Structure 1
Amino acid sequence: MPIFHLILVAVIQGITEFLPISSSGHLILLPNLTGMEDQGQVIDVAVHVGTLGAVVLYFWADLRRALLGIPKILRRQIDDQNAWLALCLIIATIPVVLAGLIFKLTGLDDILRSVAVVGWMTLIFGIVLYWADQTGTVEKTAERWGIKDAVIMGLAQILALVPGTSRSGITITAARRLGYAREDAARLAMLMSVPTILASGVLLGAEVALAMDAAAVKDAAIAAVFAFGMALAALAIMMRLLRSVSFTPYVIYRIVLGLALLWVAYT
């Protein structure tokens, strides 16, 4: 694959993975709107690995706590915040993993990869994000994340399997409606992304690993590195801006993009 194409895919994935604007939707649009060849599953896995590395590095303190809590869960000793965080992350991940398998086995993931679907989901869930952000109260912090909220956010995350919805966007939307502050909502959404991206990477990686050759490995490495760098920068900027700015700029972007895509799809 040409180096420009690799970098373009990596930059798009890196910037959009953690912003509430749908990375999968943008990656589907790239070949649809530019005529470029679809990047394929090898590059999809590579850029997801890159973004996974970025979120792990940025939120390492929280993720380390969750890892320390796993042994306690195995011993059924959920008696501190580490074990509680790990349990909530596991519970929040189960729904999307099960739904993802159903989508994969039934072929729904391919059926929904269209400009019209991306356009509608981008527009609708952009408006929903605005509603949740403007009407949501601020009465909870990430440290008070509980099982009930983890279940609700996990069920909401299923909607992100439809391209254009945005995994981070829909989980942030759910968190804001549940009463979490903007920065805490984004923090929980990012933490939820780790096991979700990991599960998705394992599923896709198992399919492509045997088919990779030296050239594919090289392309994948380039894509992963660029995706890592862009994702880390996007994460740092978003988390800093959320201390003083709402999600409205992302909503405006989604509405403009959604309307443009619907115009393209239906004309």
Structure 2
Amino acid sequence: MDIFQAVILAFIQGLTEFLPVSSSAHLVIFPQFFDWPDQGLAFDVVLHFASLCAVIIYYKDSIVLLSQDFFSSVSTRKMQGDSFLAWGVLLGTIPVGLAGLFFNDFVEINLRSFHVVAYATILFGILLGLSDIVHRARDINRELIRGSDILIIGCFQALALIPGTSRAGITITAALLIGLSRKLSIKFAFLLSIPVITLATIMKLFELTNEPQQVNWLFLLLGFAIAFLTSYFTIVFFIKLVERIGFLPFVVYRIFLGALLFLI
């Protein structure tokens, strides 16, 4: 991997991790299409850690309040403030954690292909568009999350193991379908990304200890900086854009991308 490839891959990770367009799809497509060498586990870990830092910093105020209410609910054994949302982030991570534990090897061996990515990109893109249409037609904008919401969104998130699905996209889709407001749907989806990305990073770190390799610290630092800045500003851009015009641009992009993959 040269410095140009490092910059491009870091930019792609930062741009697509929190957009409903699937970061895994883009990170599968670019290296294969241009016949780039594998970027290595160390670089992969750094990019994921950069995205994790970006979402934590963006939601730092909410995370502090959620943490305070969470520990208060544990000590008093009563839900208070945003403690239920905090519990929701933890409990909503269980389905994808179990799915990753049992099906990760199957996904890696059988589903990381252009055809799977293409089908998933189009299918789940259309589903995102339909969820937005249904959401607007019903005019339901709940600002409170319930136990059943956590279960449904958590199960939908497990589908993100399929390359091309988009973890952000599928969780937002589920949230819109069950009637949560756009604002809460996006916030809960991004908060859910924190434990998921943390678990993925830890897993890759364990793999890295078993597969020692040479580390180019310049590439790692550059990749972190680009992925972090791109991730942070993508979150800001995405939230403002969706508030103004909805999810249609991302639906159109996903259909176009999936069609392009079939042509390739």
Q: TM-score range by the shorter chain?
A: over 0.9
3-state SS, counterpart of residue 244 of structure 1: helix
Shift of 1:38: 2.1
Show the counterpart of 1:147. 147
- 1:72-111 CA-partner distances (Å, limit 9, x unpaired): 354462321232121111110000011111123x442232
Shift of 1:211: 4.4
> CA separation in 1, counterparts of 2:156 and 2:238?
21
CA contact (8 A) 1:6 1:219 kept: yes
The one-letter code sitting in structure 2 at the alignment partner of 1:109 is E
Shift of 1:47: 0.7
> CA separation in 1, counterparts of 2:50 and 2:234?
13
1:59 matches 2:28 = no
Show the counterpart of 2:243. 243
CA contact (8 A) 1:95 1:158 kept: yes
Unaligned runs of 5+ in 2: none
> CA separation in 1, counterparts of 2:76 and 2:141?
26
User: Aligned pair in 2 of structure 1 residues 98, 198: CA closer, same or farther (>3 Å)?
Assistant: same
TM-score w.r.t. length of structure 2 = 0.93
3-state SS, counterpart of residue 215 of structure 1: coil
Show the counterpart of 2:163. 163
User: Aligned pair in 2 of structure 1 residues 216, 72: CA closer, same or farther (>3 Å)?
Assistant: farther
Q: Percent identity?
A: 34
CA contact (8 A) 2:160 2:166 kept: yes
| 1:1-267 → structure 2 map (5 Å cutoff) | 1-75=1-75, 77-104=77-104, 106-136=105-135, 137-142=138-143, 144-209=144-209, 211=211, 215-264=215-264
- 1:202-239 CA-partner distances (Å, limit 9, x unpaired): 11111114645663444323212110000111111111
Structure 1 runs (4+) deviating above 6 angstroms are none
The one-letter code sitting in structure 1 at the alignment partner of 2:49 is V
- 1:43-71 CA-partner distances (Å, limit 9, x unpaired): 22111111111111111122122222342
> CA separation in 1, counterparts of 2:39 and 2:11?
13
> CA separation in 2, counterparts of 1:233 and 1:212?
33
CA contact (8 A) 1:126 1:255 kept: yes
> CA separation in 1, counterparts of 2:212 and 2:225?
18
> CA separation in 1, counterparts of 2:61 and 2:141?
20
TM-score w.r.t. length of structure 1 = 0.92
User: Aligned pair in 2 of structure 1 residues 45, 256: CA closer, same or farther (>3 Å)?
Assistant: same
Greater Cα offset, 91-100 or 81-90? 81-90
CA RMSD of aligned residues (A): 1.7
- 1:124-155 CA-partner distances (Å, limit 9, x unpaired): 0011111100112343444x112210110000
User: Aligned pair in 2 of structure 1 residues 21, 255: CA closer, same or farther (>3 Å)?
Assistant: same
> CA separation in 1, counterparts of 2:53 and 2:22?
19
3-state SS, counterpart of residue 81 of structure 1: coil
> CA separation in 1, counterparts of 2:59 and 2:17?
15
Greater Cα offset, 206-215 or 41-50? 206-215
- 1:228-255 CA-partner distances (Å, limit 9, x unpaired): 0001111111111122111000000000
Unaligned runs of 5+ in 1: none
Shift of 1:183: 2.6
- Count of aligned positions: 262
3-state SS, counterpart of residue 163 of structure 1: coil
CA contact (8 A) 2:119 2:258 kept: yes
CA contact (8 A) 2:131 2:176 kept: yes
